[in-house]
């Protein structure tokens, strides 16, 4: 039987715990890496969690794997990593993939909108016309 996106997300949610804004803020203060896996137009439109690294979902494995020329040194397997997207689905999938890659402390913040509406710190993109 083939799987659906819902199946994949359910499996990912079973292995990647969700964190609240307060829990995420505490982890961020202690040095956790925050990764926004949305596409660039989404980030440009709404901003991102303050201090977050933007790595589109399609580049995540390349940025997280130190064996590729695209590796981002901010990614370390011993560093807690918090992922988020627009609603929590892509971040669940991203978190599950990081766990498969050996990242042990991976958490799903869920959706950016929830973070922003709860008063989480947000960085807005610079207006290119300025």
Residues annotated as catalytic are: 85
106 neighbors 33 (Cβ within 8 angstroms): no
Nearest to 84 by CA among 100, 72, 98: 98
**Location of structure tokens 């901010």:** 74
Distance from the Cα of residue 98 to its chain's centroid: 10
- What's the DSSP call for residue 84? E
């Amino acid at each position: 039987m083939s799987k659906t996106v819902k199946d994949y997300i359910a499996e990912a949610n079973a292995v990647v715990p969700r964190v609240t804004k307060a829990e995420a803020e505490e982890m961020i203060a202690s040095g956790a890496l925050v990764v926004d896996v949305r596409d660039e137009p989404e980030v440009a439109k709404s901003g991102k969690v303050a201090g977050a690294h933007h790595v589109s979902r399609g580049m995540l494995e390349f940025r997280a794997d130190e064996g590729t020329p695209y590796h981002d040194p901010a990614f370390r397997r011993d560093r807690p990593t918090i992922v988020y997207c627009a609603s929590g689905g892509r971040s669940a999938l991203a978190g599950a993939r990081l766990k498969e890659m050996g990242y042990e402390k991976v958490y799903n913040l869920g959706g950016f909108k929830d973070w922003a509406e709860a008063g989480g710190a947000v960085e807005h993109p610079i207006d290119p016309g300025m």
